[in-house]
Chains A and B, each alone.
Chain A
C-alpha cells in the first residue's frame, strides 16, 4: 500500500477544471517533485492533497497507517507572518497541534519533539528569537521544523526555496535531502527543474501534458523534453 494514492483526480476552482484525470502514487521513501508552468495547478494539487479544498472528481487516499492530518506541510509565507510577534519555539511547538486533540496545553512529550526538531535543523540557539527578525533561510528552517513536528513520515513542501539566495537555497536542498536519507518521504513543488532532477526519485509534471514516473524516464518523455526545452529557452532569453 502506498503512503499516498491519487486516482482519477481532477482539480480546479468553482467547476473550472485545470487538471484532468491525474493518477499517481507516492511510496514510503520516495522524493517526488511536482513541476509545471505557472498556473498549471501545482498549488491546487497540493491544497487538494492536504484537504484544504475538495477535488472536482477522483480521490486522494492515504495508506500505510498515515492519517490525513499527519502530513507535514511547509506552506509559502503569508503576509500575516511577516510581522508576526512569535518566538521560534512557539511556532515549532504549534506543529504538535495535531496530536493535542482537546488538550489545551503542550505537555512534556510535545516539548521534547519540538526541541528535537529544533536541534535537527540547527535552531536551538534561536529558540527565543523573534520569527520576524530572522533571515529568509532561518524562517524556512523554522517552518520546516514545525512541519516535522506534525509528521514523521511525509513532508509536503510548497516552493521551499522561493525568495532565498543561491547559497541558502543550496543549504535548504541539503537539509531536505538529509531528511529524505533519514527516511522521510518528500513531496516538493518546485520551479527549479535542475534541482528537481538532481534530488528527486520521481517527477510529476502537471500541465497540458501529464507525466508521472521515475526521474530518469522523465527526460525521455514528451512532457519532459518539451518542458526542459522551454526552461532553457526561458533561461537564455
Chain B
C-alpha cells in the first residue's frame, strides 16, 4: 500500500489535487469561524446553490472558462444576502432559502433542457457532489485556485483584528468608527470566492461542511479566537489531506470522503471538549 501511495504522489494530477485541496480547506476554515459565530453558516449553503445555478448557465452558454460567470454571480448574491440579513433576521433567513432553492431548480432545469453531454444525471451529480473532478484539474485552474486562495489568506491575516471586532460586537465596532458595513461586504466577497473554489473540491452540496465543521470542532476544544482560528485551519488542512489520500487509495468520491473525515474529527474534538469541560468545573 505504501508503494501505491508513493506512486500516486509522484503523479502530477494527484499533486495538483493535494495543493488545491489544502488551499481550499485552509481558506474555508478561516472564514468558517466568523460565519459560524455571526450565525451566517446557512449563507454558505445558499451561495453554493447559487454557484450551482450559475455553473449550469455557464454550461449552457458554452463558456470555456465558467469561473468568469460563476464568480461574479455568486459574489452578487453574497452581497445581497448579507444586506437583507442586517435589517431583519427572519427576512434574511427566508431570502437565503428562496435564492438557494430557486437556483438549484433553475440550474437543474437548464442542464436538462440544454444538455451539454449525453449523460445529464452524471453531470448534475458531479456538480453537486464534486465526484472526481478534482483529479482532472487543468494547470490553469490550479493556478487560479492557488492565486485566489493566497489572496484570501492575506486579506484574512491583514484584517484579522478588524474581523474579530466586527464579529464579536458590530454595534461597538461601528460606534468606535470601524466601517462595519465595508468589512461585511469584504466578508461576503471572500465567502463567494471560497465557495466557488470549494465547488471544485467537494461539489456544491457539501461546501457548507468544509466551512462549518472545522470551526465547530475547534470551538469545542479551544477558548480564544486566535486559537480557534488556528486550530480550525490546521484541522481542516489535515482532514482534507487525509480525505484526498483515502479517496485515491480506496476509490471513494473525494468530496464526501473529506467531509466524512471532518465529521470524525468533529466527534473527536467533541469528546476532548467533554473531558476538558469536566475537569474545569
Give the residue of A52, A90, A97, A104 whose beta carbon is less than 8 angstroms from that of B226.
A90
Report Cα–Cα, A80/B39, bound state, in Å. Answer: 8
**A97-B178, A104-B161 in contact; A73/B223 too (CB < 8 A)?**
no
Q: A91 contacts B168, CB within 8 Å?
A: yes
Smallest Cβ-Cβ distance to B219: which chain A residue: A85
Number of interface residues of A (CB under 8 A): 36
**A73-B172, A84-B168 in contact; A133/B158 too (CB < 8 A)?**
no
Within 8 A of A (CB), among B58-108: none
Interface presence of B159 (CB below 8 A): yes
Q: Mark A69-106, 1 if CB is under 8 A from B, else 0.
A: 11101010010110011110011011101101000111
Interface presence of B122 (CB below 8 A): no
Interface presence of A146 (CB below 8 A): yes
Interface presence of B279 (CB below 8 A): no
Interface presence of A68 (CB below 8 A): yes
- For residue B225, which residues in chain A have a CB less than 8 angstroms away from its CB? 84-87, 90
Smallest Cβ-Cβ distance to B223: which chain A residue: A130
Least Cβ distance of B74 to chain A in Å? 25
**A80-B38, A98-B177 in contact; A85/B228 too (CB < 8 A)?**
yes
**A68-B177, A104-B159, A150-B176 in contact; A94/B165 too (CB < 8 A)?**
yes
Interface presence of A128 (CB below 8 A): yes
Least Cβ distance of A47 to chain B in Å? 8
Chain B facing A: main interface SS: helix
- For residue B151, which residues in chain A have a CB less than 8 angstroms away from its CB? none
Q: B224 contacts A73, CB within 8 Å?
A: no
User: Quick one: which of B159, B164, B172, B280 has the most chain A CB within 10 A?
Assistant: B172
Report Cα–Cα, A6/B60, bound state, in Å. Answer: 60
Smallest Cβ-Cβ distance to B215: which chain A residue: A85
Q: B164 contacts A86, CB within 8 Å?
A: yes
Within 8 A of A (CB), among B223-276: 223-228
Least Cβ distance of A70 to chain B in Å? 8
Q: Mark A123-148, 1 if CB is under 8 A from B, else 0.
A: 00000111011000000000000110
Give the residue of B165, B175, B280 whose beta carbon is less than 8 angstroms from that of A50.
B175
Number of interface residues of B (CB under 8 A): 31
- For residue A63, which residues in chain B have a CB less than 8 angstroms away from its CB? none
Least Cβ distance of A141 to chain B in Å? 15
**A94-B165, A106-B161 in contact; A69/B224 too (CB < 8 A)?**
no
Q: A90 contacts B175, CB within 8 Å?
A: no
Interface presence of B37 (CB below 8 A): yes
Interface presence of B8 (CB below 8 A): no
Interface presence of A183 (CB below 8 A): no
Interface presence of A122 (CB below 8 A): no
- For residue A75, which residues in chain B have a CB less than 8 angstroms away from its CB? 169, 171-172
Q: A97 contacts B228, CB within 8 Å?
A: no
Smallest Cβ-Cβ distance to A68: which chain B residue: B177
Smallest Cβ-Cβ distance to A79: which chain B residue: B39
Smallest Cβ-Cβ distance to A105: which chain B residue: B161
- For residue B162, which residues in chain A have a CB less than 8 angstroms away from its CB? 97, 100, 104
Smallest Cβ-Cβ distance to B176: which chain A residue: A98
- For residue A130, which residues in chain B have a CB less than 8 angstroms away from its CB? 223-224
**A81-B169, A94-B161, A94-B165 in contact; A87/B176 too (CB < 8 A)?**
no
**A52-B174, A86-B224, A146-B172 in contact; A104/B158 too (CB < 8 A)?**
yes
Which B residues lie at the A interface, using CB under 8 A?
37-39, 157-162, 164-165, 167-169, 171-178, 219, 222-228, 280
Instruction: List 4 tightest A-B contacts by C-beta distance, closest first.
Output: A69-B177, A130-B223, A87-B224, A50-B175
Q: List 27 A-B contacts (CB under 8 A).
A: A50-B174, A50-B175, A52-B171, A68-B177, A69-B176, A69-B177, A70-B176, A80-B39, A81-B168, A81-B169, A84-B37, A85-B37, A85-B227, A86-B164, A86-B225, A87-B225, A90-B224, A91-B168, A93-B161, A94-B165, A97-B173, A98-B176, A98-B178, A100-B161, A104-B161, A129-B223, A130-B224
